[in-house]
Amino acid sequence: MTAAPAIELRSLSKHYGSTPAVDSLDWSGGRGVIGLLGPNGAGKSTLLRMLATVLAQDNGDIRVFGLDPAVADERLAIRRRLGYLPQEAGLYRSFTAFDLVDYVAVLKEITDRSARRDEVRRVLADVGMTDDMHRRIRTLSGGMQRRVALAAALLGQPDLLVLDEPSAGLDPDQRLRLRTVLSDVGQRATVLLSTHQTDEVAAFCQRVLVLDRGRLLFDGTPRDLASRAAGRVWISSAPDTGALRSWVTGDGDIRNIGVPPPSAEVVDPTLDDGYLLVATEETART
Amino acid sequence: MTSVVLAATRTVEANRRAAIAQLARIETLSMLRRVSIWIGVAVSLAFIVTGAVAQEDWSSQKYQSLVPLGVFPMTMATFVAGVRSGNRDRSTRGALADEAPLGGDQRTAARLASLIVPVGFVVVAMAAIGVGSRIEGGFRVGDGQFRTDSAVHSVGELLQPPLVVAVVGAAAIAIGRWVVRPGPALVVGVVVLFATGSVYWMWNAGYAYATALMQVHPLGDLDVVHIPTVFLHDLYLLGLVGLFVGLSLRGASRPRLVMGGAVLAGLSVAAQLAVSPL
């Protein structure tokens, strides 16, 4: 008997007015770290909010651990196994970092006081906030506040971790720490994170989804996404009008994506190239 | 198998109740740390102490004004603290742990429980007035029929201030949960409380008397100690507590509490009007 996937979406839709945020999405996924890429307005946050049980869909079905978040008791059961970092976490500014995470731990029904405090210290250490845990939220930098919110999401070792741009505002050291923590969590749980940084996805995600205008454009490994652009990336010294996308690199060369001319100097594609190609072709197609 | 499932369910439910109790404890400690509450305590104490030792300008002044004016600062403070407490999840840019098992109603219930702080202070203050006045031989309320030199506040009268604070606190938390920006609500609330609290003597007739937040007996030719509306007015305040607690919640218990509170308040007003000698 195989275990049900952690997440199953069937014809999932959500509209804001007449604008589709998520459009007839079918997908399922299980353990591991899954990166969600897409331009602004692609529907990433809406999808994550629905998975985090804080937003109801208009149509279609969501199952998390085989449970339906539309049913109150099942939603509660999902919430007991869930950690969620929203794009903007509403941190109480007068609380210290420790007290705030402790408060969230109570909200997550961690009632043994001694175990709860140990858990709060553990998650704050995971995000590198041990030295600043007794500072008030209002005195922390934006990046530190983001780490406190992330610590709150990590409480209780959730089976599903839904993270909306977790690395936003973090410095390179903290990003590295984040990758390590999330990779560890991904060994035993499902981690679904949205990001605009393809290097992050390439670094530690086992699976990547590309979403645009609520539709799933790609689902596969980061390597598969990069290989989508194999033979379609080339370097030139002048802008190439035949390219779908071009930009000047740090070396002063021009990197192009599209259908290369016969004499082009084709180079190995990166994940960034694959993502840009998929997204640009979709834009051109529609 | 069924008994195992039932036991597990009971454990989960017990854990949930324990979490809500811990949340209430956190909110109570948070209420204790609020500056407005301590300002309310200090000013109320000052009003009560100075009111108790001051010379009376007119007969019955202490009897009539010590309780309402003594509790008035605490009422204001509770309103400010309640709005800010209820508004905590609305004033932030995003939601805190929206996905947590304990949601908005459990958090609000814990905040409502934290009203034990101001209500508790007022209970102690009223007990002190009740006991102190009895030891000192009561208040002078003048000469004539039903007038006496040893009037004391009845238990029903002394119950009124804690209930008023509970009503105001529950209303404040409901308002705080509803509004995005608490500033205007705080201003309007303080003005309304001033109109219903500090100028209590404006509410001494007819319907106003029955629906006043703070009901203070006019002392015409009435038996002030045995006036029959006192406990009915306490019931009215209890109804208002239920009404505002219901309005502060969003879940299934909301309609029951709102309806129950409104019915109790309405019946209590009708009963007061039926028996009031005014």
What is the per-residue pLDDT for A228?
92
| B152 falls within a domain | yes
| B17 falls within a domain | yes
Residues of A in contact with B85 (CB under 8 A): none
Order across the sheet with A59-64: list the strands.
A19-29, A7-16, A59-64
Q: Is B25 exposed, middle or buried (CB count within 10 Å of its CB: 0-12, 13-18, 19+)?
A: middle
Phi, psi of B216, rounded to the nearest 5 degrees: -115, 130
The reply to whether residue B98 touches residue A76, judged by beta carbons under 8 angstroms, is: no
Q: Is B150 on the interface with A (CB under 8 A)?
A: no
> Mind listing the pLDDT tens digit for each residue in A217-251?
999 999 999 999 999 999 988 878 888 889 998 88
| B253 falls within a domain | no
| B136 falls within a domain | yes
Best B99, B105, B111 residue to mutate vs chain A (most A CBs within 10 Å): B99
Confidence tier at B59 by pLDDT (50, 70, 90)? low
Residues of A in contact with B15 (CB under 8 A): 109, 111
Task: For residue A158, give Cα distances in angstroms to A31, A204, B83.
Answer: 12, 19, 34
Residues of chain A with confidence (pLDDT) below 50: 1
Q: pTM, whole model, 2 decimals?
A: 0.87
| B209 falls within a domain | no
Confidence tier at B248 by pLDDT (50, 70, 90)? very high
Confidence tier at B32 by pLDDT (50, 70, 90)? very high
Mark out chain A residues that contact chain B at CB-CB < 8 A. 52-54, 76, 79-80, 82-84, 86-93, 100, 103-104, 106-111, 113, 152, 162
B209 CA to chain A: closest CA distance, Å?
A: 42
Closest-CA residue in chain A for B85?
A92
Cα separation, B211 vs B203, in Å, equals: 8
Confidence tier at B146 by pLDDT (50, 70, 90)? low
Closest Cα partner for B186 from B172, B170, B202? B172
Q: Does residue A241 contact residue A272 with C-beta atoms inside 8 Å?
A: no
Closest Cα partner for A31 from A190, A184, A181, A163? A190
The reply to whether residue B102 touches residue A104, judged by beta carbons under 8 angstroms, is: no
Domain residues for the domain of B189 are 2-197
Which has more pLDDT, B91 or A90? A90
Average pLDDT over residues B59-76: 84
What is the per-residue pLDDT for B202?
67
What is the per-residue pLDDT for B193?
83
3-state SS assignment for residue B229: coil
> Please, what sign has the CA dihedral across residues B30, B36, B39, B43?
negative
| B242 falls within a domain | no
> Mind listing the pLDDT tens digit for each residue in B215-244?
776 555 555 555 667 889 899 999 999 999
| B222 falls within a domain | no
Closest Cα partner for B278 from B231, B223, B234? B223
Residues of A in contact with B106 (CB under 8 A): 107
Which has more pLDDT, A90 or B41? B41
End-to-end CA distance of chain B: 67
Residue type, A249: T
Residues of A in contact with B93 (CB under 8 A): 88, 90
- Report the domain count for chain B: 1
Residues of B in contact with A92 (CB under 8 A): 88, 92, 96
Cα separation, A213 vs B234, in Å, equals: 59
Q: Does residue A10 contact residue A57 with C-beta atoms inside 8 Å?
A: no
| B241 falls within a domain | no
Q: Is B96 on the interface with A (CB under 8 A)?
A: yes
